[in-house]
Amino acid sequence: MSKGILVWAEVTRENYLHPVTFELAGKAVELASKMDETPVIGLLCSKPNLIGEFKDAFKHNGFDKVVYVAEEKLEEYKTDLYAQAAIDAIKTIDPEIILMGATTQGRDLAPRISMSLHTGLTADCTALDINEDGKLAATRPTFGGQLMATILSKNSPQMATVRPKVFRPNYLDSEKDTIFIKHGVDLSNKNSSIEILDFKKKLCSDINDLDSADIIVAGGKGMQSKEGFDLLRQFADKLGGSVAASRTAVELGLAPQQCQVGQTGKTVTPKLYIACGISGALQHVVGMENSEKIIAINNDKDAPIFNVADYGFVGDVFDVIPQLINSL
Amino acid sequence: MNIILCIKQVPDTTDIKWTENNTIQREGLESVVNPYDVYALESALDLKSRYEDINISALTMGPSQAEKALRKVIALGADKGILLCDKKFAGADTYATAKTIAAAIKSKLQDYDLILCGQFAVDGDTAQTGPGIATFLDIPQVTYVKEIVEYTRGYVTVIRETDEGLEKIRVKLPAVICILKGEFETTRPTINGIIRAQKSKILKYGIDDIPLCPVETGLKGSPTYVSRAFRALKRDVNCKFIGDVKELVQVINSVRGKHE
Ligand SMILES: Cc1cc2nc3c(=O)[nH]c(=O)nc-3n(C[C@H](O)[C@H](O)[C@H](O)COP(=O)(O)OP(=O)(O)OC[C@H]3O[C@@H](n4cnc5c(N)ncnc54)[C@H](O)[C@@H]3O)c2cc1C
Ligand SMILES: Nc1ncnc2c1ncn2[C@@H]1O[C@H](COP(=O)(O)O)[C@@H](O)[C@H]1O
């Protein structure tokens, strides 16, 4: 029997559990089924009293056990204090695999943990599997998304981070008998080396919430101008969707950075992704290829975007999109 | 203030060519200084322009050609270059890289206040080396830093950009700070800089100069290994081309679950 797969439960500033926690849990349950009696364990480090609010969520997402550290000093995320709490708990749990979100928190904390435990960490994975030797095979893009590498770790725990939206949560209708265990860590005479003086919430551009959009209308250089993006906005509004962009469109100032999809932007997984005037460079494709359906509109019939699209329309976006707006 | 700037020489990922076997053709691949390390340099130069007695030592672990990258950043304004180069260092993953760099800093460059790294290296994009160096030196780290706002005795104040917003953080020195793209004008090499870069003597250290054994460095000292590398696969679909807008409207409506 193995000691388990540990999933880092990320608490956001606003004290909710980051959805990536459940996406990872879904994957952990799948991986555990390929291993020998392997429990899926959540690790929550937070200020006191939060665990109660999250219990139901843990029970419905397949966790066998949740270990939690609840300390006043963990009120806000601070690398050093969180690392100390997490490492202490992990040493007790002694898991075989640790999965964390590739969020700014996860990518700050995970290397601190892996280096302290003298083990390997694979960042920003797009696929996880258990290989024939029972080891975690973590696949990630490298070289700007052009090469995929499957990475194994010689040491244990084997660690990986995964971006939000790469996996899907596996919500259970029934409750699981999750065991909750409090883990005490004494942080009383430990002071953080950092002090958070101020925090400004990110101003999201209008209603553009790419993370949860079911429909995304994305524009590239082929949309040519800000007016072109206004047209996309109308198109998206008609469909109840959000607007995204390629990096070139962002660099040309046609759309804000928050809209960028791809290797250096967001990963999105809507039900429908409509790529307008986007050539389909690999760095763009890695951010949208897990969409359920992809439609591409491009005036070049050989554009690589058609290799990843379910449906293609060869034509001028300025001719097609107004017609679509009128008839949808 | 003494700054150690960690830089990495990376292949120019915009210019990748493939062999017939879908492996990257490495011959003739141009090398550049990792763009995020150039942003880190720009932050260091910005500090230098605002405060007195700022010293920038650029450090890289890499093959002997990496000396070129050090001279490049000296031409852009760094004061000196340090190359960690040894056959025993080759093949290191981020764990072994961070351990080796930290060991060199601890044994050869004790007198430092700030270690600057890029947030990512564009070839690997792991963002682990900076936090790793901080862990091995047992000093704090601040990642995703957009701007270094202020330096006061023993502390720097930075703006950190997280998924949720902007944090203003004061961190005790010495610390590792990992830099995102900032809002600087791109620095260009000056004639004086280029001359200085040519004349500069690059300090070189190998395995015998640092307190680590060969099994702790390079491929041997790396807990991870690549079991398979392959060209990114295209989505496994066959594109259905649509001839007229009416049909396209139907497709969009059916995907949305709306039937008319
Ligand atoms: C390290 C690295 C990271 C990167 N990260 C990202 C990333 O995160 N996201 C990203 O998107 N890119 C990224 N890129 C850039 C990427 O390689 C491409 O350059 C970019 O995606 C191209 O954007 P585009 O498709 O809008 O522009 P182009 O490649 O110029 O394509 C424009 C397309 O529009 C079509 N077109 C033109 N006019 C019309 C018209 N009137 N009607 C219909 N079609 C028309 C053209 O046929 C063409 O196919 C990255 C690159 C590197 C090196
Ligand atoms: N071989 C190296 N030598 C010096 N610095 C490095 C090296 N590798 C990575 N770094 C530093 O660590 C940062 C992050 O790299 P990475 O962890 O590879 O994404 C880089 O931007 C550099 O500042």
- Domain CATH for B212: 3.40.50.620
* pLDDT, position A205: 40
Q: Residue B103 sits in which domain range?
A: 2-226
> Quick one: A150 and A280 in the same domain?
no
> Quick one: A86 and A228 in the same domain?
no
Q: Is residue A230 part of a domain?
A: yes
Interface test with A, best of B36, B125, B157, B259 (most A CBs within 10 A): B125
Is the bond into B174 cis (omega within 30 degrees of 0)? yes
The rounded distance, in Å, linking the Cα atoms of B249 and B240 is 14
Highest mean pLDDT among A205-219, A257-271, B11-25: A257-271
What distance in Å separates residue A170's CA from the closest CA in chain B?
23
Task: Return the residue of A nearest to B174 by Cα.
Answer: A193
Distance A249 CA to ligand 1 centre (A): 7
When computed from its CA atoms, the radius of gyration of chain B, rounded to whole angstroms, is 22
Q: What is the count of structural domains for chain A?
A: 2
Q: Is residue B135 part of a domain?
A: yes
> Quick one: A37 and A175 in the same domain?
yes
> Quick one: A260 and A323 in the same domain?
yes
Q: Is residue B165 part of a domain?
A: yes
Q: Is residue B130 part of a domain?
A: yes
Averaged confidence pLDDT in chain B: 91
The pLDDT-based confidence of B250 (bands split at 50, 70, 90) is: very high
pLDDT, average across residues A123-136: 94
Least confident window among A3-17, A252-266, B84-98, B129-143: A252-266
Set of chain B residues whose Cβ sits within 8 Å of the Cβ of A306: 239, 241
* pLDDT, position B185: 73
Q: Is residue B46 part of a domain?
A: yes
> Quick one: A76 and A221 in the same domain?
no
Dihedral over Cα of A112, A161, A201, A264: its sign: positive
The pLDDT-based confidence of B232 (bands split at 50, 70, 90) is: low
Residue that terminates a domain, selected from A129, A149, A182: A182
ipTM: 0.82
What residue type is assigned to position B34 of the chain?
N
Burial of A256 (0-12, 13-18, 19+ CB in 10 A): middle
Averaged confidence pLDDT in chain A: 92
* pLDDT, position B18: 64
Q: Is residue B233 part of a domain?
A: no
The rounded distance, in Å, linking the Cα atoms of A90 and A308 is 41
Q: Is residue A196 part of a domain?
A: no
Task: Return the residue of A nearest to B235 by Cα.
Answer: A308
Set of chain B residues whose Cβ sits within 8 Å of the Cβ of A117: none
Q: Is residue A64 part of a domain?
A: yes
Least confident window among A105-109, A244-248, B51-55, B225-229: B225-229
Q: Is residue B236 part of a domain?
A: no
Q: Is residue B238 part of a domain?
A: no
> Quick one: A175 and A237 in the same domain?
no
> Quick one: A145 and A105 in the same domain?
yes
Distance A213 CA to ligand 1 centre (A): 22
Which residue is listed with tokens 């005037």? A277
Interface test with A, best of B169, B244, B253 (most A CBs within 10 A): B169
The rounded distance, in Å, linking the Cα atoms of B206 and B218 is 12
Residue that terminates a domain, selected from A182, A198, A232: A182
The rounded distance, in Å, linking the Cα atoms of B248 and A315 is 12
Q: Is the pLDDT of residue B257 over 80?
A: no
- Cα–Cα distances in angstroms (integers) from residue A157 to residues A92, A116, A153, in the given order: 12, 11, 8
What residue type is assigned to position B210 of the chain?
I
The pLDDT-based confidence of A204 (bands split at 50, 70, 90) is: very low
Would the CB atoms of A116 and B246 count as touching at under 8 Å?
Answer: no
- Residue A14 sits in a domain whose CATH number is 3.40.50.620
Pocket mutation for ligand 2, best pick of B129, B143, B180, B205 (most atoms within 8 Å of C-beta): B129
Q: Is residue A188 part of a domain?
A: no
pLDDT, average across residues A83-100: 98
Encode pLDDT of B23-68 as tens digits.
666 666 778 999 899 999 999 999 999 999 999 999 999 999 999 9
Q: Is residue A27 part of a domain?
A: yes
Whether B91 contacts B74, CB under 8 Å? no
Q: What is the count of structural domains for chain B?
A: 1
Q: Is residue A214 part of a domain?
A: yes
- Residue A240 sits in a domain whose CATH number is 3.40.50.1220
Q: How large is the greatest C-alpha to C-alpha distance in chain A, in angstroms?
A: 67
> Quick one: A142 and A287 in the same domain?
no
Q: Is residue A250 part of a domain?
A: yes
Higher-confidence residue: B14 or A164? Answer: A164
Could you tell me which residues come within 8 angstroms of residue B222 by beta carbon, excluding any fewer than 6 positions away? A120, B91, B92, B93, B95, B96
* pLDDT, position A265: 82
Q: Is A182 left (phi over 0), alpha (psi -120 to 50) or beta?
A: beta
Q: Is the pLDDT of residue B157 over 70?
A: yes
Encode pLDDT of A29-63 as tens digits.
999 999 989 999 999 999 999 999 999 999 999 99
pLDDT, average across residues B70-98: 96
Q: Residue A270 sits in which domain range?
A: 206-327
Q: Is the pLDDT of residue A208 over 60?
A: no
pLDDT, average across residues A6-12: 97
> Quick one: A76 and A168 in the same domain?
yes
> Quick one: A105 and A233 in the same domain?
no
Q: 3-class SS at A232?
A: helix
* pLDDT, position A206: 41
**A311 reaches B (C-beta below 8 A):** yes
Residue nearest to ligand 1 atom 50, measured at CA: A283
Would the CB atoms of A153 and B223 count as touching at under 8 Å?
Answer: yes
Neighbour order of strands in the sheet with B155-161 = A194-201, B165-172, B155-161, B141-152, B175-179, B114-118, B2-6, B55-61, B80-84, B203-205
